[in-house]
Amino acid sequence: MIILDGNKTSSEIKDEIAIDVNKMKEHGEKVPHLAAVLVGDDGASLTYVGSKVRACERVGFKSTLVQMSTTTTEDELLQKINELNENDDIDGFIVQLPLPEQIDEQKVLMAVDPSKDVDGFHPENFGKMALEMESFIPATPFGILQLLERYQVKTKGKHTVVIGRSHIVGRPMSILMSQKGNAGNSTVTLTHSYTKNLSEITKQADIIIVALGIPEFLKADMVKEGVVIIDVGISRVPDETHSRGYIIKGDVDFESVSKKASFITPVPGGVGPMTIAMLLKNTLIARQRKTS
């Protein structure tokens, strides 16, 4: 069994990005600039945005954190997005989700200039991705593709089962795995909460990508020997023995499933760190597209 090590792989990707940024500096070019908009004071969101800003510093990007209060109106946020769209110095930006309930998430995502949409959530980018055109691939699916590619996991002709159909992970993943090219050419089954006899389907899978948010949902008796497991889930499970009062669990019962798997991502240290690395990669691509 081989661990698909997201810490190691994301670190390599960040080093590659840093080399490109250094070259830009040597040539007197502007370095990529990522902005992150955070509305409200949700603890997990603050942590995620903080990690993204620190990652920018590590690779030599410029970063801007735009913090707005919980009571921000939809108009105020749309105004801010407009400013970021028009600011030539900013190559890409993200709006951290979830947003407070007075704000329509879809309206916000639609307002982002697709050429700066490094999260790849705008319908123009999603549509282009589905049509195999140049776009921004959402960071988490992009990270999963990179893990599969860099560990040379065979996907061609394999049966991939995706569990979960969210717009940011499951749905794009199902499209990408069926596409032509590396880490693609798979036969894909997309499953969700209305899927009947899920175990019968997962037992036929060569590759399982799990993104549903139920800790240790996938058990060993649901998979076949030699399966490749990608665990996207991140859940905080109360644990009094830990100083934080909780531990992070994935959607896979790692202990038992890893014994049958040929490749598996751990949680933490699998898909999570890849997501940030690919956000940086998308920002680098956004900068490069501006100059090419």
Binding site for ligand NAD (CB under 6 A): 140, 163-166, 168-170, 191-193, 195, 198, 211-213, 232-235, 271-272, 275
Q: Please state, in angstroms and as integers, the Cα–Cα distance from residue 24 to each residue in 29, 230, 286, following that order.
A: 5, 35, 14
> DSSP string covering 68-107, please?
E-TT--HHHHHHHHHHHHH-TT--EEEEPSSPPTTS-HHH
**161 bridge partner residues:** 189, 208
The nearest distance, CB 168 to ligand NAD, in angstroms, is 5
Q: Which two tokens stand for residue 152?
A: 């040379």
Let me know if 224 is a catalytic residue. no
> Please, what is the angle between helix 170-178 and helix 123-130, to 10°?
30
Let me know if 52 is a catalytic residue. yes
Closest CA to 166 of 196, 137, 188, 193: 193
Integer Cα distance of 42 and 75 in angstroms: 21
The nearest distance, CB 262 to ligand NAD, in angstroms, is 21
By C-beta, is 36 or 90 nearer to ligand NAD? 36
By C-beta, is 92 or 138 nearer to ligand NAD? 138
By C-beta, is 95 or 234 nearer to ligand NAD? 234
Give the active site residue among 5, 91, 119, 251.
119
Give the active site residue among 52, 80, 249, 281.
52
Give the active site residue among 5, 14, 80, 96.
96
By C-beta, is 72 or 140 nearer to ligand NAD? 140
The nearest distance, CB 234 to ligand NAD, in angstroms, is 4
Integer Cα distance of 152 and 115 in angstroms: 31
Which residues have C-beta within 8 Å of that of residue 233, sequence separation ≥ 6?
Answer: 210, 211, 212, 213, 214, 215, 217, 249, 250, 251, 252, 267
Let me know if 89 is a catalytic residue. no
By C-beta, is 82 or 199 nearer to ligand NAD? 199
The nearest distance, CB 289 to ligand NAD, in angstroms, is 24
**Chain-centre distance of CA 272, in angstroms?**
7
The nearest distance, CB 199 to ligand NAD, in angstroms, is 10
Residue 272, amino acid: G
Integer Cα distance of 31 and 35 in angstroms: 13
Active site residues: 52, 96, 119
